[in-house]
Amino acid sequence: MKFGTRILAQADRLASFSEDEGRLTRTYLTPRHREAGEQIAVWMREAGMEAGFDALGNVVGRYAGDRPDAPAVATGSHMDTVVDAGRYDGIFGILTAIACVRDLHARGRRLPFAFEVVAFCDEEGVRFGVTLIGSRALAGRFEPSMLEARDRDGVTLRDALIAFGGDPDVIPSLQRKGLAAFVESHIEQGPVLLDEGLPVGVVTSIAGAGRARARVTGMAGHAGTVPMPGRRDALTAASEMALAVESLCGSRPQELVGTVGKFAVAGGGAVNVIPGSVEFTVDLRSGEDTVRRRAMADLESHLHEIARRRGVTLAWEPFFEMKAMPCDAGLQSALASSIAAHGVKVRHLPSGAGHDAMELAHIAPMAMLFVRCGAGGISHNPLETMTAEDAEIATSVLLHFLENFRP
């Protein structure tokens, strides 16, 4: 096997750089971030690239093109993780690209473009609550206010970056200009390819997302003395609202997904007290922004109706929106041709998760190659898995794409 076994062994090695004993957690600007980045840079250099950390903590490898004035094509994914993560989310997209360069360099092959491989420093946003940090910088969309974000210990991103050896003043210069394309390989993080028996697929678009915080306020009371008909129970009202999210999205499963990810009774609640205040979050996603926005508006209206009927109040605060990002049609076609060249049926599918690629799409044509997950397609979980055979096919497809792409 040319690629797959090495890639999985490298993923195992990177999984050892973890902040938590017995589970994989690697967040931005920590010692484990540095260790993982240094290891990735070593592999990049061994493969034939110039490589190192940039001013924000991304690790960037560059494989020169066949002429000094060649345009650039970029790929890569993120090296940070969620808490208690799987070992292939993000990391596979870095390792598969390094494997391609290793093969090209061993054959003395240069491409008609410079090829950049980026291990993005922070996509998940676990430490500072700001997502897609590394890719936003390369897209020229890093906002200075992000530097003031704080982690749970009160450390600002600015101070952590300086301590890491980065330079906040250099961030604006990280923007890529004249990039011919950005193509990201990533595990699917879902079951579609697995259920259809396919190792890879072509992504059509990256779903947009809208998020809101909800606070339901009723009336706290004694659990034994307030009659049931007179209660203004914030928890039961909020529970009905959460089910309304499920019902709305369940009625339109092909175009909408929704999640209540946080749900908390004020003060932690008490066993003998009717809850007086509950907070929860809503996350709606769709490949069509108009569908998502209409659904969010309909949901807000319905939740207010529930609140009125139950005698509670609802405070609704939208706090995040990320637009859907379609993949470039020409790059989709090129990836499809590379898949077909390997005798694999071409499957087009959307991505429900956000990726670094959606930021780079602001400055260059963008596409994504999805790779099959095992274990029911589970991700963001230590059960996340993939096979060496699928890593082999996906890397061969990416290499075929690179060798046949002409900017």
Q: What angle do CA 248, 254, 321 make, to 5 degrees?
A: 65
Token code pair at residue 41: 């840079």
d(CA 94, CA 69): 25
Backbone angles phi, psi at 161, to 5 degrees: -65, -45
Tokens of 246: 């499920």
Written as six digits, the tokens of 17 are 């750089």
342 annotated as ligand-binding:
no
**Element housing 349 (H / E):** strand 348-351
Let me know: does 133 contact 142? Beta carbons within 8 Å. Answer: yes
Does 404 carry a binding-site annotation? Answer: no
Angle (nearest 5°) at CA 44 between 39 and 50: 120
Angle between helices 329-340 and 388-404 (to 10 degrees): 120
Identify any residues that bridge with 179 across adjacent strands, giving them in sequence order: 72
**Phi-psi map region of 177: left, alpha, beta (phi>0 left; psi -120 to 50 alpha):** beta
The β-bridge relationship of strands 348-351 and 200-206 is parallel
Are β-strands 208-217 and 366-371 bridged in parallel, bridged antiparallel, or unpaired?
unpaired
Q: Which residue has the tokens 């914030």?
A: 234
123 is annotated as contributing to ligand binding: no
Tell whether 285 is in a known binding site. yes
Q: Is 39 helix (H, G, I), strand (E, B) or coil?
A: helix
Query: What gap in Å lies between CA 94 and CA 87, rounded to an integer?
Result: 12
The answer to whether 41 touches 51, Cβ cutoff 8 Å, is yes
Which residue intervals of 267-373 are DSSP H helices?
A: 289-310, 329-340, 357-360
**Cα→Cα distances 355→92, 259, 375, 376, 399, Å:** 13, 18, 21, 21, 21
Q: In this structure, are residues 390 and 4 in contact, taking their beta carbons and an 8 Å threshold? A: yes
Residues of the binding site? 78, 89, 124, 186, 211, 272, 285, 380
Residue ranges of the annotated binding site for Zn(2+) are 78, 89, 124, 186, 380
Binding residues for allantoate: 211, 272, 285
